Structure 1
Amino acid sequence: MAARDEHPADLPRCPSGGSGLLPDELRAWMLLLAATGAVEQRLRSVVKETLDVSHDEFLILCLLAEQPGEGLRMTRIAELLGRPKTRLTYQIACLQRPGLITRRSVCGDKRGVEVVLTDKARQLLREASALLASAVKEALAEFIGPAQRDAVAGLLPGLAQGPC
């Protein structure tokens, strides 16, 4: 339990002032990656327990959920997630087996394949969304501390003020 008592947001601060080999922007980016990686790791277990899919499959479902009544081409999903198309083909097959997505040919493009969320998946996401959102909020509160906020502010000056 002692590990839970430590606040992961209190991880070593990213040194500033150019004292190391990396520029401040890259050090800030690495600090943010570490924090978001910790949040993602926490979410992995909740996604697996709640939806019985992998985190990468969950990301595909989320992308499709933002396309009401439409689908996405597999090539576009691969681009958005930064995943190889071969890996995506496997993940799509894993989602198709339990009836969470369907594949269809793209009209006018015999090589194009579009992926669409099923009603079953939409219902599953609706039922799990509050729990998943809560897990994200809790993980963000745990892993995003002053150092990470400072890193974002340093990378995106004027963020707090909003768009001009």
Structure 2
Amino acid sequence: MADLDEQASDLPECPSAKGTGLLPPELRAWMLLLAATGAVEQRLRSVVKERLDVSHDEFLVLCLLAEHPREGLRMTRVAELLGRPKTRLTYQIACLQRAGLVTRKAVCGDRRGVEIALTDKARTLLREASGSLAETVAGALTHVVGPDQCAAVRGLLDLAGEAGPGPASEAVGTPD
């Protein structure tokens, strides 16, 4: 934890965290959260490509499906949770299917519905890569998130927690 504090203290002060601008605290915190997310994504891209041989967007699909041990998710729900157009998701799923990482099947009783699930190969790859992926995320966050940023984002998350769990938390298996 001392290393984390040392790294965070080396960071330049974040102007958004001061609250001296025009934005209310919720928007400042959101901007800080986006910056942290962007830093993580930037570092993860090469590790994901090296370890899993998939794009970052395909990796996000795999992570979402990884939260569902055996059952799959409807493609429309995956598109909704990832904020992706269905047509783009269809292409990504086709790539993942060709790589042997996901399966597709029709949803019983809905001729237009398609459900996707991880294959055992994907589960094994994710299990093997999870350590280096987690280290990459932690490293990226400690590089860009200091105490001021943590406090701002924590405030935003506290507000979200007061509102209660949303439909997205149910889909990814987050406890109520």
Q: TM-score, with normalisation over the residues of structure 2?
A: 0.79
CA drift of 1:15 comes to 5.4
Shift in CA distance, 7/15, structure 1 to aligned 2, threshold 3 Å? closer
Q: Which has the higher helix share?
A: 2
What is aligned with 2:78? 77
CA drift of 1:6 comes to 10
What is aligned with 1:25? 26
CA-based RMSD of the aligned residues comes to 2.3
Percent sequence identity over matched residues?
A: 71
Question: Aligned AA for 2:92?
Answer: Q
Question: CA separation in 2, counterparts of 1:140 and 1:6?
Answer: 9
Question: CA separation in 1, counterparts of 2:43 and 2:114?
Answer: 32
| Superposition map of 1:1-164 within 5 A | 9-10=11-12, 12-14=14-16, 16-17=18-19, 19-157=20-158
Aligned residues: 154
Question: CA separation in 1, counterparts of 2:146 and 2:67?
Answer: 29
SS at structure 1 position matched to 2:63: helix
SS at structure 1 position matched to 2:15: coil
SS at structure 1 position matched to 2:32: helix
CA drift of 1:16 comes to 4.2
Q: TM-score, with normalisation over the residues of structure 1?
A: 0.84
What is aligned with 2:173? none
Shift in CA distance, 135/72, structure 1 to aligned 2, threshold 3 Å? same
